[in-house]
Amino acid sequence: MCEDFDVAIVGGGMVGASLACALTQTRLRSALIDTLPADAASHPSFDERTVALTYSSRLIFEGLGVWNSISPLHAYPILRIHVSDRGHSGITRLDHGLVGTEALGYVVPNRALGKALYDCVATHPGCHKLSPARATAIDVNEDHARLTVESDATNRTIRAKLVVIADGGRSPLTDELGFKNSLTSYPHVALVSRVHTDRTHDGTAYERFAGAGPLALLPIDTKQFALVWTLDEEDAKRLRTAPEVEFIGELQNTFGDRAGIFSNPATRYQYPLALSRLTDPAQPRVVVIGNAAHSVHPVAGQGFNLGLRDVAALADTLYEAQRHGNDIGSMPVLDGYCRWRRRDTRAVGVFTDGLINVFGSRFSPLVTLRNLGLTAIELMPPVKRALLRRTMGLHGPRSRLGLGLRLSD
């Protein structure tokens, strides 16, 4: 038996689920294929970690109609960011008042975001969810793509006008289709956790460059931070399993006491870091989005937000193609999407990689220059404003969802 859909989405994490939610605002019939149920404790996208959303991501979720189910209890606003370089005097302070928004961004638990997205698609007749299920093979023809999907130890076939690969690169499909990837692995890893502090943070996030890379503290709750700490692999491995007193002591020594005295760390997770980008994320009948198409260093918190802008642009592109009677899986349609996203994707990759190269260097003249640069930015509000608009995703062409509007408005 072969089931027919307009769009088949491979990967039900935050990017794939966001696209499925967006497509409920169109007449396109979609299938969302995920290896695990969204409420599974082991789901890699909807676990106990948090994600930092830019203000543009809030607007996209408003356009999707899910922000009100996230914000009252689960979204903690980032009102200001304090950027510093350990052992040096240069600092930059960024405030939401510079750009006239309610916040610079928000910190949201992954599980709360996942629930909001899956509630959006759960009862919509146009979205069919397959989980646990795995897409194991793909065959592309002139007018459709055919997926082999393994579910409950049996194989089924799905036929779609367009296949969207949004699985974070965990599927063999991109290799099978011959997508070319430019990959640079960083010699560091990210250690992720939560820590309490003895004072309120008043919505302040911290980005402190120290040693191997940045140490980020993102405000959650009143006296708690989400921690993303870039470390050498050996240090990360040691600290991930170190006794609590040892871990807190090293964190306190590295960061200092500007945010208070740390305590009670949560479970610590370790993740590899890389800069990658598909040379061309589209082929006839297939497009790759999110981390499956590009990954960046977590400095400045751009990764998921970049993927969410993929979702918004692709949903807008498919909506317009459908509205004008165009073939949604054709290369003219997909090329239009790729042109839209190319500049933003490259700019974020260059920006994050540049930060790591500049602030990870111990070359004395460069250390002096980067601290002069931080001081100069602190003294020039127009430069701050431009920097904030870029990192908040508020520059360049924006989709309907990126403006906080529904696709059909």
pLDDT tens digits, one per residue of 63-111: 999 999 998 888 999 999 999 988 888 899 999 999 999 999 999 999 8
Cis omega (within 30 of 0) for bond into 132: yes
Give the pLDDT band of residue 61 (cuts 50, 70, 90).
very high
Average pLDDT value for residue range 106-125: 92
CATH number at residue 141: 3.50.50.60
Q: Which residues pair with 208 in a beta bridge?
A: 84, 215
Concatenated DSSP letters of 67-136:
HHHHHHHH-EEE-EEEEEETTS--EEEEEGGGTTSS-SEEEEEHHHHHHHHHHHHHT-TTEEEE-S-EEE
Burial label for 245, CB within 10 Å (0-12, 13-18, 19+), is exposed
Crossing angle (nearest 10°) for helices 14-23 and 55-64: 40
Q: Tell me: the pLDDT tens digits for 201-215?
A: 999 999 999 877 899
Residue 261 exposed, middle or buried by CB count within 10 Å (0-12, 13-18, 19+): exposed
Q: What is the mean pLDDT of the chain?
A: 93
CB 260, CB 138: distance < 8 Å: no
Give residue 222's pLDDT: 87
Domain that holds residue 17: 2-76+105-183+275-359+396-403
Interval 223-245 mean pLDDT? 96
310 located within any domain: yes
User: Is residue 230 included in any domain, yes or no?
Assistant: no
Domain count, the chain: 1
pLDDT for the residue 2: 86
Q: Count CB neighbours of 336 within 10 A.
A: 17
Q: Dihedral sign, CA of 339, 345, 349, 350?
A: positive
Looking at the domain assignment, is residue 100 inside a domain?
no
Q: Is residue 225 part of a domain?
A: no
- Measured CA to CA in angstroms, residue 174 lies from 270, 293, 353 at distances of 25, 9, 24
Distance CA 293, CA 152 (A): 29
Counting beta carbons within 10 angstroms of the beta carbon of residue 234, is it exposed (0 to 12), middle (13 to 18) or buried (19 or more)?
exposed
Residue 350 CB partners (closer than 8 Å, separation 6+): none
CA distances from 121 to 22, 64, 72 (A): 9, 11, 21
- Domain assignment of residue 347, yes or no: yes
Cross-strand partners of 205: 81
- As a whole number of angstroms, the distance between CA 75 and CA 108 comes to 5
**Domain assignment present for 297:** yes
- Name the β-bridge partners of 196: 224, 263
Cα-Cα-Cα-Cα dihedral sign, residues 159, 164, 170, 176 = positive
Q: What is the length of the chain? A: 409
8-state DSSP, 219: E
How many CB atoms are located within 10 Å of the residue 328 CB?
Answer: 22
pLDDT reading at 40 higher than 70: no
In a domain, 38, yes or no: yes
Q: Is residue 17 situated within a structural domain? A: yes
pLDDT in tens, 299-357: 888 999 999 999 999 999 999 999 999 999 999 999 999 999 999 999 999 999 998 88
Euclidean distance between CA atoms 136 and 173, whole angstroms: 7
Amino acid at 131: S
- Can you say whether residue 74 is alpha, beta or left, with left for phi > 0 and alpha for psi between -120 and 50 degrees? alpha
CA distance 235 to 66: 39
Place of tokens 């560091």: 188
